[in-house]
Each structure stands twice: as structure tokens, then as C-alpha cells.
Structure 1
Amino acid sequence: MERDKNNNDGMEKIKNTDHYKAQYQKDFVDKWDELIDWEGRAEGEGAFFINLLKNKGKNKILDLATGTGYHSVTLMSAGFEVHSADGSTEMLHKAWENGRKRNLVLRTIQADWRWLTRDIKERYDAVICLGNSFTHLFAEPDRRKALAEFYAVLKSDGILIIDQRNYDNMLETGYSSKHKYYYAGDRVKAEPVHISDDLVIFEYCFPDQSSYKLNMYPLRKDYCCGLLRGAGFQKITTYGDFQKDYGIKQTDFFIHVAEKQ
């Protein structure tokens, strides 16, 4: 019984919104671009976000999960004004370095989504939260609080773009992936080692035999859309793997575009 209690206590500890900060260690962050593969990601998503933002007339962008800076750098290079935020100082440092390598200076902001307006006073045409990052929030009050903060930093006609893995498929039929989009590095193995209704643990294994784990809450698609409506967003359009027409079972990622007005 004592062993079961210790196991349960350990599981509850890792099902904590703030636990991600301990998981993004410097040596993991230094390998992150090897996992992402910027060229592979660019090939997979193409100009989807650039075209979407331009078509909607959005220019000032807040990248809320900048990670090592791929989307911030891509959008800045396309002419957008971008502010780059993340909860991990290690990620922000790496993003800034990646920007400098490309002759760009990122404006970085260390911020907790749940108290975003404490650190960010400006208003944006669009907020993006990509890379399956929103699933680091494990408690529903945290999810609702974060979305309320996202809503608050948007202009009156602003939009939120948020993505997630296809957890519906993962929970119902098991894990599968085309490895074409977000984790495109062909020398890195990325797959779940635990799947349950309230926790998915992904393990990332690198060629040097190192491995790292990240904990995620398995957001179902309709539940996520319900949260967006509850935060006040009026229109939500969902894409599957960057396509408006998609098959639920064949989709790796959902991208939700939530419009404030």
C-alpha cells in the first residue's frame, strides 16, 4: 500500500502545470533544434501561418510559446512585428541566439501564461501558441485562466492561433504519426511511453543515447474548442495538418484559429 501511495504521489507531482520548467533542462534545450529540424518543419507547414496572418490583415504578433524561436524568426523574416514569450528562460536564451545567427534581434519576454497581463501591457493583432505547448497546462482552472489572458492581450479584432496533437486518436486507437510536421528530425525518436486519460508522457531519444521526457495533458479537440468559446472567442476554425478538409483519423495536429470579434 505504501508503494502504491508513493507511486500515486509521484504521478500527481508530474501532473502539475509548473513541472515543465524542470523538464526543459539546458542540455535538452540545446538539442531541441535537432528534434524540431527547422528545414523539415518549414517544408511540412510551408507558408501556412504567414498566409493566414496576412490574409486576415494581422501584423503585430505575440508568439507565446516561442521555444527556440522557429516561428518568431520565420514571421519576423516575413516582415511581421513579433514579440517572443516563453515560460522557460533557457528556451528564450536559445531563441535569441537563433535570431542573432539570422541577423535578427528577438524581443523576448519571460512570462507565465496565467498571469500574462502582469508582464505584458501591449495589445496584439494575433497571438500564437504553437508546438502543442498548451497541453503543458494540467488543471482546468489554469487552462481557463491562460485563455482569458490570451484574450485580454488581443486587440478587439484579434485572433488566437493555437495547436494541439490529435489526442482523440491517441486515446482511442493508440499513437501513430507521420513525423512530417512538428518533430521532423529524422535522427530523433519521439513517442509516448505513457498514455492515459489525464496524462501523456513523451520520450525523446537522441543519437548520443540521451533521452528526455515531457508531460502533457491529452486535450480532446472538441473540449479545446469549448474552452476557446468559454473564453469569449466568437468564431473558431479548425485545420487538420494545415488543411481545412481533413480526416480525423489521419491527422497528427489540429490548428485552431479563434477570432475575438
Structure 2
Amino acid sequence: MTNANATDRTIDPLALRHQIFGDEPLRVRDTDHYTQEYVGGLVDKWDELIDWDRRAEGEGRFFVDQLRTRGVRRVLDVATGTGFHSVRLLDEGFETVSADGSPQMLARAFRNGLEHGGHVLRTVRADWRWLNRDVHGEFDAVICLGNSFTHLFSEHDRRKALAEFYAMLTHDGVLIIDQRNYDAVLDGTAGGNRTYYYCGARVTAEPHHVDEGLARYRYAFPDGSEYFLNMFPLRKDYLRGLLRDVGFQRVDTFGDFQADYSDGEPDYFVHVAEKQYLPED
């Protein structure tokens, strides 16, 4: 998703230090706008927001185990961000390609790969809607983590991106995709805020505005700076339906990495979608 906002196509996202939402930020509901949200100032603070060590502790070996039990060797990380999951997978011996639509994020991910384990990340700037144009080859697994899929505001874009993920996979490949528990946010039953994703001890990530078409979150840092991200509040069953619509045969959903949960409790859902048919247990 590399295009600039349709109303300001001359802006180079690489040169931005401050976010641009215009006079009516609650009306910004454009898939391509995220390139103006992940500006240099926010990217510089992103690792402070997620805290790699605490995030690794919170996730445990969930993703590694999901991939390893399926015999996965090649992984495409389509929302690598600053490289957290790509580096973890490389540490575990997976052959990993790291893609993102934000050039700022990719630059930081490349530096993080060198600093965390001496990895040279294979980075690709890619638009999910034309993923097969930008990334070549087949993969045993595609991962789309960090609540990234909610940057797609159009149902057409969501279906197109999922179809591209599906096409990148081998015949028995698996897609692992996560999302915030927007059902709980929209319905006013948000759970325990165990903060598996935004683990920075002195950083806050909280909803600034929520309606059925927009979840606008505010991120506040100890130095007094604050940033915003506009995202689409995906409901869990809606996304599960989209996964089945594009062809995935089995979709298992975990709440905060647990198979057993009550819908209102988890902060995040993780969907494990398998391309090959497997009988129900």
C-alpha cells in the first residue's frame, strides 16, 4: 500500500516527521493514508512502544510452535514493521522475507536485524493488494501481525489482500493473522488489557475515538509526544468469514494465544488459517 493520500499525492512519506490528518482527522478513512501516519517521529519511537523483550515474554513460543508443528520452512512476514517477528523467526532458523509498505519501517527493521543477532533482513517494500507483483516465490507461511490488517478500510482491499496472501502460499500453507479485539472495544466490554503487543512500560496506547468504521488510537510517550493511528475496527467473525471466502479451509482462532477464552476477555485474537483441508478434531 504505497500510494500517497489521494488528496496530497506530492508528499514524500520518507521526508515526513509529523503526521498529517488535516482539519478533520475523524474523516480520514483511507487505506493509503497509513504512509503518512508511520512518519519518522513515530517510527523512531516504535520499539519503545512495543518493548522487544517484554513482547517476546508475552508471546512466548506461540508463533514459532504454530509454524514448526506444520513443518514450515519459508515465511513471508508481510507487516514486518521494525522487524520484531522477522528477527525472532530468523533466530529460530526460519528462512524469512520481510515486507512492509512503509519505507521508514523497513529501514528501521534492517538496522534492527543487524543489531539483534547480526541478521541481514531480506526486505521488500510491498503493497498487499499487489503482493505477487512485489514479492516473488512461494512460502510455507505468511504472517500478518501487529494488528496491521486493520489499516485496510475498504472491503475490496481486504478481500484482495487476503487473496494475495492465499496465492503466495504453497498448497498446504498457513496464514497467521491477528487483530485487536474490536468486538469488545465497540461493544464496551474491553477485557483485561494484558498488553501483549504494546509493552512499553511508560507508553500508553488507548482509543481516542471509536465507531463502526473507525478506531482511532492515541499513543503517548514519556517525553510528552503523541501520535495517532486510524484503523478499521474488524470484528472477529467478519474476518473469519473473509478468510473462508478467499479459500482457507480451516480457521482456528486464539484469544491472547489461548485456545480457550471468553470473547470479551482477550485483548487480541490470532487466526491460524490453513489452505489445505484438515478434518476437525
Alignment TM-score, normalising by the size of structure 1: 0.95
- Whole-angstrom CA distance in 2 between matches of 1:140 and 1:84: 25
User: What CA deviation, in whole Å up to 9, does each residue of 1:38-59 have, x standing for no partner?
Assistant: 0110110101001110011101
1:166 maps to 2:181: yes
- Whole-angstrom CA distance in 1 between matches of 2:264 and 2:171: 35
User: What CA deviation, in whole Å up to 9, does each residue of 1:144-184 have, x standing for no partner?
Assistant: 00001000111111000000000001100154552430001
Give the match's secondary structure for 1:66.
coil
1:110 Cα deviation from its structure 2 partner? 0.2
1:243 maps to 2:258: yes
Q: Which residue of 2 aligns with 1:3?
A: none
Contact 1:83 1:107 in 2 (8 A): yes
1:27 Cα deviation from its structure 2 partner? 1.1
1:26 maps to 2:40: yes
Contact 1:40 1:180 in 2 (8 A): no
- Whole-angstrom CA distance in 2 between matches of 1:44 and 1:189: 17
Q: Which residue of the other structure, out of 184, 202, 205, is the alignment partner of 1:187?
A: 202
User: What CA deviation, in whole Å up to 9, does each residue of 1:98-128 have, x standing for no partner?
Assistant: 0011211100000000000111121000000
User: How many equivalent residue pairs?
Assistant: 255
Q: Which residue of the other structure, out of 123, 126, 131, is the alignment partner of 1:108?
A: 123
Give the match's secondary structure for 2:224.
coil
- Whole-angstrom CA distance in 2 between matches of 1:48 and 1:245: 14
Q: Which residue of 2 aligns with 1:67?
A: 81
Q: Which residue of 1 aligns with 2:226?
A: 211
Q: Give 1:126-205 correspondences, 5 Å limit.
A: 126-173=141-188, 175-205=190-220
Q: Which amino acid aligns with 1:142?
A: D
1:89 maps to 2:103: yes
Contact 1:162 1:255 in 2 (8 A): yes
User: What CA deviation, in whole Å up to 9, does each residue of 1:129-155 have, x standing for no partner?
Assistant: 000000000000000000010001111
- Whole-angstrom CA distance in 2 between matches of 1:24 and 1:91: 8
For the aligned residues, what is the CA RMSD?
1.6
- Whole-angstrom CA distance in 1 between matches of 2:24 and 2:218: 17
- Whole-angstrom CA distance in 2 between matches of 1:200 and 1:42: 26
Give the match's secondary structure for 2:179.
strand
1:207 Cα deviation from its structure 2 partner? 0.4
The percentage of counterpart residues that share the same residue type is: 59
User: What CA deviation, in whole Å up to 9, does each residue of 1:224-247 have, x standing for no partner?
Assistant: 000001111000000000011111
